[in-house]
């Protein structure tokens, strides 16, 4: 990474710290669980079991995939 890219990253992180993240929904897991990503700094978040947004770790990403598969299978069975 060159100096210009590092300075841009620092500015974006500072902007998010001062004004807050600009979150967009990237994936709907269930009606209550979603994955988010910040448009500025690229931080990925998800809802935890209490409904509070937390940083999306690889373990949480695996859990979300499992929950999404289970949720879709269950609802396909109910509508059929």
**CB of 46 closer than 8 Å to CB of 31:** no
In the block, tokens 């004004």 appear at 19
Q: Could you tell me the two tokens for 11? A: 């500015």
- The DSSP result for 52-79, as a single string, is -EEE--HHHHHHHHHHHHHHHHHHHHHH
Claim: this prediction has a pTM higher than 0.95: no
Measured CA distances, 10 to 17, 22, 78 (Å): 10, 16, 49
The predicted pLDDT at position 48 comes to: 85
Q: Could you tell me the two tokens for 58? A: 């690889």
What are 19-46's pLDDT values in tens digits? 899 999 999 999 999 999 999 888 999 9
């Amino acid at each position: 990474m060159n100096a210009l890219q590092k300075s841009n990253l620092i500015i974006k992180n500072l902007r998010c710290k001062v004004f807050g993240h600009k979150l967009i929904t990237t994936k709907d897991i269930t009606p209550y669980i979603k994955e988010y990503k910040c448009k500025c700094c690229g931080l990925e978040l998800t809802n935890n079991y209490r409904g509070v947004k937390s940083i999306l770790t690889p373990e949480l990403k695996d859990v979300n995939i499992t929950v999404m598969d289970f949720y879709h299978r269950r609802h396909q069975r109910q509508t059929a």
